[in-house]
Amino acid sequence: MTDTIADMLTRIRNAVAVKKPEVVLPFSKVKFNIAKILEQENYVGAVTKVKEGSFDVLRIQLKYTDQGPAIRHIRRISKPGQRIYVSGKELPRILSGYGTAIISTSSGVMTNKQAAKQNIGGEFVCEIW
């Protein structure tokens, strides 16, 4: 598999579609940081790193409301075949500020709002609302 982040987002999208309570996927630092951002932005519940056998896995609790899932849309933007980079001045606004863009910067993975405060750009990883 060449794109583990796209795999993570697809697993989350599929689990939300069938109303699963949680998603379990292989652990990596980048996926953990993206999941922590989703937790801070209240798109998912608890995010934990768990040791299962000889491997670490990432366990993400999904969040639902009376209106449906907290995650309505999640999409990978920058792909291995076509990387998309944005500068600090041209950071994307998702859904007029109601959605979130996740940016991988030299200072770590962060939301578009955090990157705008620091005026730094980077790789436009995904968008979510």
* CATH code, domain carrying 91: 3.30.1490.10
The model carries a pTM of: 0.93
Structure tokens at 75: 């999409």
Domain that holds residue 83: 4-128
Give the pLDDT score at 18. 96
Tell me the per-residue pLDDT of 13-39, one tens digit each, with 9 for 90 and over. Answer: 999 999 999 999 999 999 999 999 999
The total number of structural domains that make up the chain: 1
Arithmetic mean of pLDDT, 52-64: 95
Beta bridge partners of 18: none
